[in-house]
Amino acid sequence: MGVMKRMSGILQAKTNKLLDKAEDPRESLDLSYQKQLESLQKVRRSVADVTTAKKRIELQATQLQSQADKLQNQAKAALTQGNEDLAREALARRGALAEQLADLKTQHDQVSAQEQKLIDTAQKLQTQVDSFRTKKETMKATYTAAEAQTKIGEAVSGISESMSDAGMSMQRAQDKIDGMQARAGAMDELLASGALTDLTNPVDDIQAQLDKASTTTQVDAELAALKAELGTGTAAPAPELGAAETTPATEDSPS
Amino acid sequence: MIVRILGEGQYTVPDDQRSDLEKLDDAIADAVDGGDEAAFGDALAALTAAVRSAGVALADDAFAPSDLVVPFSDATLDETKALLAEHGESAGSDDR
């Protein structure tokens, strides 16, 4: 059997579950309408869930991005100090974060696509439900009992099929989000409990090294200045005071 | 006949298009059976395109059950397989 026929059977089976077999076909119109309103509510809630999932990913991306920016700046600072190794380290860590960010971007795109689809589904369903509300009253008023049996039956199965379709779309979105939520949860834990801050703590290591380096340079300079002032230290005679001050890095060559 | 593309909507397609659609449908079935993801994607794209071009979208206020149902246009092979398997018994063996 072809895929379209089998899919039709699957959708039919789902739709049958939605259908209440009312004795009076006119009554089934009202029952069906109630179900439609419930379906619409569910789709709306589903849209909200998807939007929440999207926001969460956006928040995580923002956090990771600011860490990446920080590392970038630290790499620059390290280079300014002439510490290429430290700059390399900062860039390497930034690279690791960039991978995570790319992953989040992919997830974000997928969630956005799901969100848009569900919004479309909700809109379409809303139009159908509105139209059904007015049509069902016309049907009740105009059809004879015999006509009602077939026409109403058809209308009810038709719209119920749309509900089933919407239900499948929601399930699909939910499945996708569930997978992402698990990953997002793991990421949140990483961000909170430090495993990812293993990437960010070292950021502070890098900062500490940068700070230390600049302090050391300053101390060296001051030390050199003091030595010169006191005329002690190595055999540097007083007339060379000025030279020692401007080139603090080349003080004290070992004998 | 009325054809539904899941997640998209219904189309009224002339009955004489049926055999053409079924040929495209067979390609999907073959891809599912053969587990060929690329062929599945191509066949599904061809089928949805054929339904859209041969059919006329059903108005939102028209309520009619579908004769044929096409999977979600962006369905994956695994997803479709799972769906068909999940409902395999109920859909295939209604001979009680």
Q: What is the 3-state secondary structure (H, E, C) of chain A?
A: CCHHHHHHHHHHHHHHHHCCCCCCHHHHHHHHHHHHHHHHHHHHHHHHHHHHHHHHHHHHHHHHHHHHHHHHHHHHHHHHCCCHHHHHHHHHHHHHHHHHHHHHHHHHHHHHHHHHHHHHHHHHHHHHHHHHHHHHHHHHHHCCHHHHHHHHHHHHHHHHHHHHHHHHHHHHHHHHHHHHHHHHHHHHHHHHHCCCHHHHHHHHHHHHHHHHHHHHHHHHHHHHHHHHHHCCCCCCCHHHHHHHHHCHHHCCCCC
> pLDDT class for A254, splitting at 50, 70, 90?
low
pLDDT at A194 over 70: no
CB of B95 within 8 Å of a chain A CB? The answer is: no
Tens digit of pLDDT for each residue in A74-83? 889 888 888 8
Note whether B25 contacts A2, CB cutoff 8 Å.
yes
Note whether B25 contacts A4, CB cutoff 8 Å.
yes
Note whether A127 contacts B60, CB cutoff 8 Å.
yes
Tens digit of pLDDT for each residue in A150-160? 888 888 888 89
Shortest CA gap B53–chain A (Å): 17
pLDDT at A44 over 90: yes
- Contact in structure between A139 and A29 (CB atoms under 8 Å): yes
pLDDT at residue number B45: 96
Task: Using CA coordinates, name the residue in chain A closest to B81.
Answer: A3
Tens digit of pLDDT for each residue in A11-25? 988 888 877 766 777
CB of A118 within 8 Å of a chain B CB? The answer is: no
Mutate to test the interface with A, among B24, B33, B36, B66 (most CBs of A within 10 A): B66
pLDDT at A163 over 70: yes
Kindly list the residues from chain A whose CB atom is less than 8 angstroms away from the CB atom of residue B9.
Answer: 124
CB of A150 within 8 Å of a chain B CB? The answer is: no
CB of B1 within 8 Å of a chain A CB? The answer is: no
Structure tokens that stand for A113 in this block: 């696509």
Residue from the list B21, B64, B83 with its beta carbon closest to the beta carbon of A10:
B83
Residues A30-41 have a mean pLDDT of: 90
Please report, in tens digits, the pLDDT of each residue of chain B (96 residues total).
999 999 999 999 999 999 999 999 999 999 999 999 999 999 999 999 999 999 999 987 788 899 999 999 999 999 999 888 887 644 444 443
